[in-house]
Every structure is written in C-alpha cells, then in structure tokens.
Amino acid sequence: PTPQPAPLALAALGGSSGTSPTAADKPKPKAWYDRLQLRGYTQLRFNEIISGDKTAPAGQSRLRSVHDGSISDRSNFSLRRVRVVLQGEISDRVSLYLQHDFASAVLGQQAGERREGFGQLRDAYADVFLDRHKTFKVRLGQSKVPYGWENMQSSSNRLTLDRSDGINSAVPGERDLGVIAFFTPRTMQKIWDELTKEGQKTFGNYGAFGIGLMNGQGTNKTEQDNALMQVALVSLPFRVGDQILEVGASAMRNRFRPELRSGGVSAKGYADDRIGVHAMLYPRPIGVQAEWNWGKGPEFDRASGTIKEKKLNGGYVQVMGRFATEGGSTLWPYARWQHYRGGWKVALNAPRVETDEIEVGLEWQAMKALELTLAYARMRRSEADERRLGRAEGNVLRTQIQWNY
C-alpha cells in the first residue's frame, strides 16, 4: 500500500509550505486575519524631578530609577514602550503570542552613543493545550518567567508607572526562554473571566499553577551556563462575600552570571534563589495589593571589590480605588509604598540597590483607546552603579499617556 498521507493530513500540511496556503478543500480554513490579530500599545512619558538630587558629584548616587531612564536631569518626552503583538489561535490546540517593542535602544553607535527605537522581541511563544477545556497548557519559547504577580501583569494594565524594585529584581525584563506548564481549574478561570469583563486589572493568562524550566540569564541575553532556572507560581482567586481575593506564592531557583564592568560575563555563577508571596483584594471599589519576596543573589561587595552572594528582600503595599465617571470613563486613584534591599543582577557588577519610595497617582481610562496617568513619587534610591555611594532623595512628577490599539 502506498504510504501517502490521507487527504486530511495533506490539507493540514499544505499551509506550512510557505507560499500557497490555498490548498485545503473541504472545511474552508479560516482567513489569516481571523486566525491572527495585530494589537499593541504605546506609552509616552514626561518625568520631571521637581526637587532633590537631580545630579551629584562623581562617586555619589543621583536620583535615578532602574525602570525608567528618563528620570534624569536631562530628559523631556520619552517612549517607554511601543508594543506590537501578533497573536491568535493557530490551530484548535495551539495559540501564538509574538510581541516586540520599538522602544529598545542599541548602545555604542556614533560617538559611542545609544540610539533609540529599535524593534526587539519581548514574547515569542506557543501555547499547546493538552485538554479540550484548556485547563492544562504547555508554553514553549520566550515568555514571562512565572515569578511574582506584578511581573506577570501587562504594563498596559498596571496602575503604577513602573513595577516595584523588590519584585522585579527577580526578573528584570520579565522574560526568559524555556518551557512552562500551566494548570487552571475551570472554577478559577470563571472568576478571572468575571473580573476581566468587569474591567479589573488582572494579571493575565498565567494560570493558577505554573511551573517552568528556563535559561535563567534574563530577557534577550545569551545563555551563559549549562544549568536551568527552576521557577513556580501559584495564584488562587476566591470569593469572599461580594469581594474577590487572590493569594499566592512564587519560588525560583537559579544561578546567574552578571556582566562585569571590566568586560564580558562573570565566569562564575551565583545563587539566585527567592521565594515570594502576594495577595490582592480587587477594588470593588476599594482594593489592596501587596507582594513581598526574600532570597539571595549576586551583589557587588564594596569591601572586597568583588561580586558575592548576599541576602535580599523587598516588596510593596498598594491601595487603590476604582470609580466610574458619568461620561463612561474610569478613575483609578492609587498609592504604593515600596522597599528593596539587594543586588540588581542585570546591571554591570550587580550593584546593591536600596530603595524606599512612595508613589501616589491617578489613572484616567478616558476611553478604550486612551489612558492618562499622573503620579507623584517621593523617592529615596541608591543609583544602580557600584561606583556611586549613598542614596539620592527627591520628588518626581510623572505623566504618561498610553494609547491602545
């Protein structure tokens, strides 16, 4: 018997040949634009240090943030994120998520200066669903590391302008390459669906239970060792009367090789292990959100002039409200206190960062396409540069306009 594939297989395979996706005969395949969708968002910012340590002598910290390079004495408008996503159900059992950012810089250009606006990958993953109800899925490729609730939440959804140092220090850039298994009981998915429909800021489709194996060297960085990061996240939503509460925990075991000021990557890997907890009460109309994590990681030791494994801890507590206006828009006032003590592993020489900050702000979702955030932050921060000592203090006024498409 001729071992030629049956017609069904042929139809299914036709499209992978690159040029003529018009092969299928019987059940008309979906048009490409019904399988795939383009969307995205852009964040335009304007920060102003209204008082404090805008500049400082060499050797002392200036008021700077690891999250936003335009908190500076020399800045005006900046594009923080320019995202384009290509996503869709590419078969009954496989979905695609491919996101890039046009707010990525390339260093070392003319006069050694940086150039803005290059397109760089954020996510490139496929979800393979193992059951019909999509409660189990395996995520393959570059995606967010399942560690920390706010790390999972899209920046397009987040209320504060930046993530907290404490939680984000685990995975700056949030992504890595690997394989993650997610499991979400249907009852929990229903609660999240209800929250999403209501317009609440959930953390997205990252499952109630997630466990992953990833490179562990960070977003868009070349793998530097032969070991894998192990990481897990649990987040469980509950009904408590008319309110919805979500609680969870994260754990991460990794070895990390920081980049060195002397050039290249550390030949030695450092333990990069953490555990964290989170809880949130979704705002109906007042909510609370808090996370904390503890662990150890690479940190520059000034006494010895070398990187060592040191303890770290940090997190935040946030309160927020959610109010509808008569015109159909939504107002989200919020306040967040954050604290962090530990290394910033992706900066040169993994400098120690000491952060205490209070941010008070208001997000106005004027319409689906446009959101405006105003924030005032009282910052006390050490600069993420091991050559600069002490901490800078100051008050920063921040504005962001975000358009969604």
Distances (CA, A) of 160 to 117, 149, 201, 369: 24, 14, 12, 18
Q: Which is nearer to a second copy, 11 or 271 (CB)?
A: 11
Distance in Å, CB of 321 to a second copy, minimum: 8
Which one among 71, 96, 252, 312 touches a second copy, defined by CB under 8 A?
A: 96
Distance in Å, CB of 149 to a second copy, minimum: 15
Bridging pattern class, strands 286-301 and 306-321: antiparallel
Q: Which is nearer to a second copy, 151 or 219 (CB)?
A: 219
Asked if residue 79 binds a second copy (CB under 8 A), the reply is yes
Asked if residue 240 binds a second copy (CB under 8 A), the reply is no
Radius of gyration of the chain from Cα atoms? 23
Say which residues have a Cβ less than 8 Å from residue 281's Cβ, sequence separation at least 6. 243, 244, 245, 287, 288, 289
Phi first, then psi, for residue 15 (nearest 5°) are -70, -20
Asked if residue 363 binds a second copy (CB under 8 A), the reply is no
Distance of CA 350 to the CA centre of its chain: 20
Which one among 26, 264, 304, 305 touches a second copy, defined by CB under 8 A?
A: 264
Phi first, then psi, for residue 282 (nearest 5°) are -65, 140
Asked if residue 50 binds a second copy (CB under 8 A), the reply is no
Asked if residue 135 binds a second copy (CB under 8 A), the reply is no
Asked if residue 5 binds a second copy (CB under 8 A), the reply is yes
Q: Which is nearer to a second copy, 32 or 238 (CB)?
A: 32
Asked if residue 333 binds a second copy (CB under 8 A), the reply is no
Q: How far apart are CA 64 and CA 57, in angstroms?
A: 14
Q: How far apart are CA 362 and CA 161, in angstroms?
A: 10
CB atoms under 10 Å from CB of 228, counted, come to 18
Return the exposure string of 358-381: e unless at least 16 CB atoms fall within 10 Å of the residue's CB, then b: ebebbbbbbeeeebebebebebbb
Stretch that binds a second copy, among 212-220, 230-238, 304-312, 386-394 (CB under 8 A): 212-220
For the chain, how far is it from start to end, CA to CA, in angstroms? 54
Residue 397's H or E segment, with its range, is: strand 392-404
Asked if residue 196 binds a second copy (CB under 8 A), the reply is yes
Asked if residue 329 binds a second copy (CB under 8 A), the reply is yes
Asked if residue 84 binds a second copy (CB under 8 A), the reply is yes
Which one among 108, 303, 304, 305 touches a second copy, defined by CB under 8 A?
A: 108
Q: How far apart are CA 308 and CA 366, in angstroms?
A: 48
Which one among 60, 104, 313, 395 touches a second copy, defined by CB under 8 A?
A: 104
162 exposure class (CB count in 10 Å sphere: 0-12, 13-18, 19+): buried
Residue 118, both tokens:
């290059």
Which one among 30, 59, 115, 302 touches a second copy, defined by CB under 8 A?
A: 115
The residue behind tokens 């404090």 is 52
Which one among 4, 27, 28, 241 touches a second copy, defined by CB under 8 A?
A: 4
Which one among 51, 77, 186, 389 touches a second copy, defined by CB under 8 A?
A: 77
Which one among 50, 370, 389, 390 touches a second copy, defined by CB under 8 A?
A: 370
Asked if residue 305 binds a second copy (CB under 8 A), the reply is no
Q: How far apart are CA 332 and CA 29, in angstroms?
A: 43
Asked if residue 109 binds a second copy (CB under 8 A), the reply is yes
Residue 235, both tokens:
């987040």
Stretch that binds a second copy, among 56-64, 311-319, 368-376, 381-389 (CB under 8 A): 368-376
Asked if residue 254 binds a second copy (CB under 8 A), the reply is no
Which one among 121, 279, 335, 397 touches a second copy, defined by CB under 8 A?
A: 121
- Convert residues 51-70 into a mask of x (bound to a second copy by CB under 8 A) and - (unbound): ------------------xx
Distance in Å, CB of 205 to a second copy, minimum: 5
Asked if residue 230 binds a second copy (CB under 8 A), the reply is no
Confirm if 355 and 314 have CB atoms less than 8 A apart.
Answer: yes
